[in-house]
Amino acid sequence: MRRMAQDQPAVPLAEGADFDRAQWEKATAAVLRKTRRLAEDAPDSAVWDALTTTTLDGLSITPLGTPESLADLPDIGLPGRAPYTRGSGTADPELEGWDVRGWFTDPETTAEDLVTELENGANSLWLTLGGRGIAFDRLPTLLEPVFLDLAPVVLDCPEDPVGAAEAFVAVCRDKGVDPHPATNLGGTGTDLESVVRVATLARDTGVRGVLVDASRLHDRGASDVQELAWSMMLAVTYLRALEAAGFTLDEAAAQLEFRYAATDEQFPTIAKLRAARALWNRVAELSGIGEAARAQRQHVVTSRPMMARYDTYTNMLRTTVAAFAAGVGGADAVTVMPFDEPLGLPTPFSRRIARNTSALLIHESHVAKVIDPAGGAYAVEKLTDDLAMASWALFTELDGLDELEGVNDLAAAAERIEPLIEAVRQERAAQIARRERPITGVSEFPNLGETLPERRPYPVAPEVHRYAGEFEAMRDHPAVQPVFLATMGPIAAHTARATFVTNLLAAGGVGVGSAGATDGVDAVVDKYREAGAPEVVCLAGADAAYAEWGADLVGALREAGARHIVVAGRADLGQDATAVAGLDALAFLRALREELQR
């Protein structure tokens, strides 16, 4: 049902208490002025600009959804009905919640590992086969105790999808069972002949056979819009190939399963999954596919790039938020990446934590009790539509040129989208460097004394553009020399800036030695000499101390042997560098490390 604008929209803030826009703006502006995020003379209406965030795709997310933002949007229908924005209705009705899909890539995976996964909360298995994972000839032993008619299996072997599919089907035949209909033989990649062969085998076996894996683009650093547009490009290319091979359009559509990534940015993830279903419905509708066959089946994987190698256990928080967003967004199947995935092959413990994440969300938080719980939320509905429109525009740019035909479609589209992905990578990296996108445990609150857990390496390292990569590279090779932290005055006066700069330096693998509480130039210089008179020094104190004796301290430290002096805060004391909030932390840390190596 279309929502119409109101003359004076009410903003529900609490049960039974409605306030109009002006009242909300006034209350919000008062808070922002106290925190100095809004100028005293700024109008209350400026809170919208102050609190609106912009995604990497240039889409605006307002701090509060309002009815008028949806006034011109079309009807999104009911859950399980076209355009499927509110849910595809393809989930297994016997499941209480989404399909919890366990991921296995360890070449030494055992049958006991798979049984343990299925007996302790997983509903299906995702097996990485071939050179990147489990050998084909191990499948009969691994799957011997698995009831393949009850537990769907999804194969992943881009380098040889035909070989993987044939090996799995042979196991089913030897066991005398028909695999679960939600099984996917994993035809994927740019070799369309292989995709068609796998899909044909899948159709004859009564399962799905094609995987539209947009998560691989996400792993390379793509934005949400790029991931969605690429998934449509892949799907259309596969549809064309299957139709040319004799599949009806409805048969071809029934072969497809879509894989997307879920990040810890919960609202964009929720909107992305809802937009994906609406996009596919529109593509399928224009292709002449029947309404029932236009429902998109989604397998959602928590993001690999968002994971960090340092402070690894924090990844549990990231994956919990991502899994929550995937469930709320209507994913049919969800794989939570083990928290130690960035370090190497997961352990039984990390796999247990991963599957229990879904168990807690489904059975204790009851996230799956309501269909499309985000539906009707003005901000989510608007973001869903914005993502869909932007993705459609990029998709038509990738697919709508006459020279794109057949197998050349993907190659030409990949060439067009690559510079767009690179631009997103650079912008994201710049925001991370300025710590506008903080990464807990890496760019924020790092622990220099941390010992990383040891894990066995992958057979082939995953191709992942990890967001924390540049900071982690510095942490991998910590600075040999520490920085002397010249703390000025009592602890209460210098602790804020001392803490800020200590965390900043630790993010780049640089330790500090602090002077502690001091009173005056001579006291700091004495502590400096006791520390061995290191050549690199950072001052941390209150503005009053800087104004009173900061310049004198800089001069005295230079006379005592300091070669490079940094000041934490906005003060001109004749220093060599300044550390303030919003600086390019990566550039600052690299320059400082060079000074420490001189």
pLDDT in tens, 286-315: 999 999 999 999 999 999 999 999 999 999
Looking at residue 548, its pLDDT comes to: 94
Same domain membership, residue 412 and residue 495: no
Q: How many residues does the chain have?
A: 598
Share above pLDDT 90 across residues of the chain, in percent, rounded to a whole number? 83
**Residue 583 counted as domain residue:** yes
Q: Are residues 183 and 277 in the same domain?
A: yes
Tell me how far CA of residue 561 lies from CA of 329, 358, 480, 485, 572, in angstroms: 59, 57, 19, 14, 20
Domain with residue 559: its CATH number is 3.40.50.280
Is it the case that residue 424 has pLDDT exceeding 90? yes
Model confidence pLDDT, tens digit, residues 540-585? 999 999 999 999 999 999 999 999 999 999 999 999 999 999 999 9
Q: Is it the case that residue 403 has pLDDT exceeding 70?
A: no
Q: Answer yes or no: is pLDDT of 440 > 60.
A: yes
pLDDT at 3 over 50: no
In a domain, residue 103? The reply is yes
CATH assignment of the domain containing 288: 3.20.20.240
Residue 1: what pLDDT? 30
Q: How confident is the model at residue 77 (pLDDT cuts 50, 70, 90)?
A: confident
Q: 536 and 410, same structural domain?
A: no
**378 found inside a domain:** no
Considering the domain architecture, whether residues 360 and 243 belong to the same structural domain is answered as: yes
The predicted pLDDT at position 180 comes to 96
Cα distance between residue 6 and residue 138, in whole Å: 64
CA distance 595 to 564: 7
520/25 Cα distance (integer angstroms): 47
Is residue 568 a contact partner of residue 540, using CB atoms and an 8 Å limit? yes
Q: How much is the average pLDDT of 517-521?
A: 88
Q: Quick one: pLDDT at residue 7?
A: 44
pLDDT (tens digit, 9 = 90+) per residue, 124-141?
Answer: 999 999 999 999 999 999
Same domain, 502 and 402: no
Q: Does 74 reside within a domain?
A: no
Same-domain check for residues 410 and 486 = no
Q: Does residue 410 belong to any structural domain of this protein? A: yes
For residue range 10-66, what is the model confidence (pLDDT) as tens digits?
Answer: 555 555 566 788 898 999 999 999 988 999 999 999 999 999 999 999 999 988 888
Q: Do 205 and 125 fall within a single domain?
A: yes
Tell me the percentage of the chain whose pLDDT exceeds 70.
95
DSSP string, 44-94: GGGHHHHH-EE-TTS-EE-SS--GGGGTTPPP---TTSTT-TT--S-S-TT
Beta carbons of 310 and 270 less than 8 angstroms apart? no
Termini Cα distance of the chain: 68
Instruction: Give the model's pLDDT for residue 11.
Output: 53
Taking residues 496-520, what's their average pLDDT?
Answer: 92
With contact defined as beta carbons under 8 Å apart, do 411 and 190 qualify? yes
**Residue-range definition of the domain harbouring residue 545:** 477-597
Q: Is residue 312 within 8 Å of residue 343, measured between CB atoms?
A: yes
Number of domain units in the chain: 2
- Do the domain assignments include residue 553? yes
Gap between the Cα atoms of 147 and 155, Å rounded: 16
- In angstroms, what CA-CA distances link 368 with 69, 86, 276, 372? 27, 13, 19, 9
Residue 591 has pLDDT above 90, yes or no: yes
> What pLDDT does 406 receive?
43
Mean predicted lDDT score pLDDT of the chain: 92
406 and 499 belong to one structural domain: no
Q: Give the pLDDT confidence score for residue 66 in this predicted structure.
A: 84
511 or 408: which leads in pLDDT = 511
Q: Is the dihedral of CA 161, 166, 171, 176 positive or negative?
A: positive
Q: Is the pLDDT of residue 188 over 60?
A: yes
**Same-domain pairing of 405 and 493:** no
Q: What is the pLDDT of residue 547?
A: 95
> What pLDDT score does 569 carry?
93
Q: Are residues 267 and 337 in the same domain?
A: yes
Whether 7 maps to a domain, the answer reads no
**Average of pLDDT values for 185-210?**
96
Residue 85 maps to a domain = no
